[in-house]
Structure 1
């Protein structure tokens, strides 16, 4: 069986990655959970490579381009 390639939950610009915290409902019964970065897949420059970057870095890059 062939496994499909799975992209890492990692921003290639700032290095933001999955972090661990608590799921904290009203009943206060805490359990561990994962916080994933909001990744956006964009196409790179001349070579056409797809790059996964977080939404904050994407917004910063767009802002720098329009200056």
Structure 2
């Protein structure tokens, strides 16, 4: 799913607002819809104490299962 180039169509918070992120430009990134959905699902799972794979690096790009 993540081994393809897809145009970024959405704006995403690098650090979610519920975790103290802001709307500052430095905390926003362009991301495709599939990656944003996966990132949001991962963040929700982590908020509930669960962990989904794949995870994402600090730069917001997905990284493979550990």
Query: Does TM-score exceed 0.5, indicating one fold?
Result: no
TM bucket by the smaller chain?
0.3 to 0.5
Q: Which is richer in strand? A: 1
If the length of structure 1 is used for normalisation, what is the TM-score? Answer: 0.38
If the length of structure 2 is used for normalisation, what is the TM-score? Answer: 0.39
Q: Which is richer in helix? A: 2
Higher relative contact order (CA 8 A, sep 6+): 1
